[in-house]
Structure 1
């Protein structure tokens, strides 16, 4: 599996460390920009400014004495902190300032839920006041919308840490809008005209825009946004197209699935995903045992790291057992131990998964996925004509320089230590690295 796929898998399944939850008022999410295009960086800035203003407003209210009248005030945030949370990496402050200043020109249409339950539409600029100095960004909101921002009882939990991982503007805005439906019993968004969804994730378009055609909007904006959200965030989106009895798409809806959580070690203030031993851990232990480079490579190239770890511990216990004969070749013994799993690691893992509490480790899921694919490769190989089998073996031997790693010509000399790495190679060359979507689907199946 490639390092890129590994990283995606960790992002998909783990409790991501850079979690930053903002209880965002739903009305502050349900805004439409009427006179321009709001970028993904500006959305990230907007959410950060809202969150900090809410925190400062709460602290300010605690200082007001009984009978005092609350005075108009501005909020502020450290400039470098805001730049970081916008994902702004450039040292040139000019573009950072321009992004904020342009937000003063953006007019937002607000869906304000009145006390009587009816919607009242209002319109105002996002940031009526803004000052950027060397240290801080000072800002304020239109006074009339502050109760909605600070006192709203209708909100959802938006993960700003995950949102910052998104790169595409459309992905940022779509995630911002749909993430609140995670807690909706139906796990579905509203079903709205596709033109409204275009406005949500892109912005207003004129009559000459190529985005007036749904299939082009879907190809260039919608599908790439869904793909990035599914790869990077804590949710999976499924697009539902409503053609309303005709061939043309009329409305869109999204089905939302939260990605499974995995067992993690407890930390002081955060959770760290337990992904098992690293390659460095294993190599350090093998070096302490004075295992030669030849056996190191065979072990780490052909066997799961967790399996190696378990059998290293078994081998050390075996060495310390005075009632047993001494081990003449430690490297060869450890290789044999992993091949036949003397430690019983696979059996223990199966038992722990069967008696678990519904949570899984990332490493366990990936290992199980690889095992299933390897089993499929074994079946596929067995169904091949003999000539095709020998052709695959020849291809495998051609990419393995050392004779010890190659498949022997004589069938009787082919043992598990030869064939298991071959079947793993066959699976990968046939189907490639698993996509994040395939891993998610596989995880859902084994959790049932």
Structure 2
């Protein structure tokens, strides 16, 4: 399966975007930043829903272009499946995967409320694929039909207050969080205040990630900021017609509420690079590390195949190493591996090797200080991996550390707030992750950082 951003012209070519090419649609403000009660709004489902809105508004009435003549067909909006794939930046021959995604959109339950009305409704009431020549045949045109529930239909077709959004800009964004935040902030780009509403960070977590209110527990704020907000802001500022800035509202030292400052930018040109690809096989391997399909899809969309495969190899090699303790947190290790490879793409081989490799005579004679610097750098990297883990994973790992270091004179109960504990934990965790230093890894360190560092 492949999912790709829409591209124009040659790879890397920058082209001007005429206003007529923006292909704008009106999205009611009530539908921006929806609170999901059940289900999950992924990047693909957000894009597909926007494409449905765009084409429904273009056609104005259902029943047009119906490929079959039945009473029910007149209640659907109809577009060629190829148009859906193009506008949602989705390129796939995997029809079963598409069907699954469309079914999941029907499982998304929304809560809409204003001064006069409270409504609980599904995002989409009905979807269908029709090929008059036969669904299992390679000939003929496959049509995509869709219908909205009553309240959603009304908001799509006759929004009272709305924001104009562009199919082009949504196609350039690589994560569901960036698309959700873009839609919210785009609403305020023409507002005199130029700032969004103020809400708790827990509220922002729900509307940005698209996770259901009942099923999701927000992470600690600093991790939400690091893993979700900052990458989304970077995408929006680089790829769309607005720039945004995070505003934190604190109670003492604790960040309790957030809002965003928004500026509209005059972006006469957009760069359409090579489209990112999501490979189903790769996504399946990522999901085996403990990621949900939505999280795995976003990770695979954000990174190149080479980076992903190298990170997967690192995790698999570490997990299969017989000389080390079992890998308790493959998801956290995989996130670290991705970040490490993004910072240093040349370091594709994992620092995992047999437990003992003899050092050369020259290394023994002249490399003691180099080895010390290598071990210190490796310990620092291990702390970086540890910080990527969630709170439960960190606690589990620290318990393993305490159990294996019961004879230490340092009081380990102080945790990593203690410099002395960090000094013991960091090299222990580095060895836990990568095993004993090897000649290969030391040589790589010297090549990258220099023996005189």
TM-score of the pair, normalised by structure 1: 0.49
Query: Which of the two has greater helix per residue?
Result: 1
Max Rg structure:
1
TM-score of the pair, normalised by structure 2: 0.49
